[in-house]
Amino acid sequence: MIASISWKNIWRNRVRSGVIIAAITIGMFAGVFTATFYKGWIKQRLDAGVETEVSHIQIHNREFGENYELKSFIPESAKLEADLAKEDFIDGISARLVLQGMIASTETGTGVRLLGVDPEKEKTVINLYKKVADGQFFDGVKRNPILIGKKLAEKLKVKVHSKLVVTLQDSQGHLTNEAFRVCGIYSVGNGMFEEMNVFVLKTDLARFVQMDETTSHEIVVHLKNHDLLKENEEYLAQKYDQLLVQNWQQLTPELGILNEYGNIYIYFFIGIILLSLGFGIVNTMLMAVMERVKEIGMLMAVGMSKFRVFWMLMLETVLLTLTGGVFGILLGLLVTAATSKKGIDLSFYAKGLEDMGYSSHVYPTIEINMVVVIVILVLITGLIASIYPARKALKYKPAEAIRIDM
């Protein structure tokens, strides 16, 4: 009964109610679409960072550090690799040699990080083999193949089958150089990663620096269940406490922060929108109450309790908010669904975005949990916004309210 009356009261002034509903709809559409856009952007960056760049867990010698010391390899790495293969929560392992060196073409040169890998094992820990834009993943070149990033290829002005000379320090402390030929050029949408990381065969790199082929500086681990990342990392850290075991959040702190605070940013943004809309709702309902003081006084005079009047006015506000909120959320979800397959092209900002590791083609993502939270926030906004106008109406005594000339 009261709900029906409240709904009819909303439309007594169609223009005013229509304007506030439109404002709420536009505000919620902007909030929902921005949230799904940002969520998709975060997901793409995390997927690229984890599945393409670092994988789930990496194991190093504690002295390896950021300088990639040649002699700071993992003791008995072949045995460790065999032990890890027995763990049922691991579905991919790749042992690498990791060195710093110089790479040069006929045009120019630059410093890079060289990763000596086994191509087949590498496919089990990262999906870089799927990101080769030109050439092949360690195929097509018989001797000393090298896989480089698109950004580095542009900097060195080389293409597939071009010759590159790598210079570094061998295990004896001597500077040495070796010629490699580009077998493929990968593109991951991260300019910094593409420019700094080059991949060669582990056997070639070991021969180059005069080290045993079974020696490894880094063991990369891919898990079957990413949700158990923390538990699995802690288990390995305790089991191999003499080594440094780190998950991707520790290896790439910027991705960890993005993962931890991404949702907070989204809800904070939506909260600002709802706060702004809340003031508009309060103002609209306060005007509606002030226009109906005499009517409210008459309702209380004929026996309607203050609680029922309070409840009626609260329902009006909540229904007004929910109407605009639901329309806005549905509109936001529809636009997200329409753009989620083809994505949104930000190629105008591609250079700057890719330099920071972000894709210039974004696919908005809908998460049910996020939609539910937004609906709850809209409901809470309606409830909070309804309290002051409803309390204002109850301050008048029936006899005084009836005599007020509006």
Cα 80 from Cα 140, distance rounded (Å): 32
Cα 169 from Cα 163, distance rounded (Å): 20
pTM: 0.74
Sequential DSSP letters for 90-131:
EEEEEEEEEEEEEEE-SS-EEEEEEEEE-HHHHTTT--GGGG
Alpha helix (H) ranges present in 169-252? 191-196, 202-209, 229-239, 248-251
pLDDT of residue 398: 56
Q: Look at 198 and 64; give whichever has higher pLDDT.
A: 198
Q: Look at 21 and 345; give whichever has higher pLDDT.
A: 21
Quick one: which H or E segment has residue 380? helix 368-394
Q: How confident is the model at residue 347 (pLDDT cuts 50, 70, 90)?
A: low
Cα 154 from Cα 23, distance rounded (Å): 48
pLDDT of residue 402: 56
Q: Are 79 and 243 in contact (CB under 8 A)?
A: no
Write out pLDDT tens, residues 223-272: 999 889 999 999 999 999 999 999 998 888 777 777 677 778 888 888 88
Decide if pLDDT at 405 tops 70: no
3-state SS, residue 164: strand
Alpha helix (H) ranges present in 104-200? 119-122, 150-156, 191-196
Write out pLDDT tens, residues 5-30: 777 777 777 887 888 888 889 988 98
Write out pLDDT tens, residues 118-149: 999 999 999 999 999 999 999 988 899 999 99
Q: Are 48 and 193 in contact (CB under 8 A)?
A: no
Q: Are 53 and 252 in contact (CB under 8 A)?
A: yes
Q: What is the mean pLDDT of the chain?
A: 84
Decide if pLDDT at 206 tops 80: yes
Write out pLDDT tens, residues 284-307: 777 777 766 666 667 667 667 777
Cβ-count burial of 58 within 10 angstroms (0-12 exposed, 13-18 middle, 19+ buried)? buried
Q: How confident is the model at residue 358 (pLDDT cuts 50, 70, 90)?
A: low
Cα 185 from Cα 198, distance rounded (Å): 10
Per residue in 307-320, is it b (16+ CB within 10 Å) or e — as a string? eebbbbbbbbbbbb
Residue 215: Cβ within 10 Å count: 21
Cα 132 from Cα 187, distance rounded (Å): 6
Decide if pLDDT at 210 tops 70: yes
Sequential DSSP letters for 238-261:
HHTTTSEEEEHHHH-HHHHHHHHH
Q: What is the mean pLDDT of residues 99-117?
A: 92
Cα 144 from Cα 205, distance rounded (Å): 9
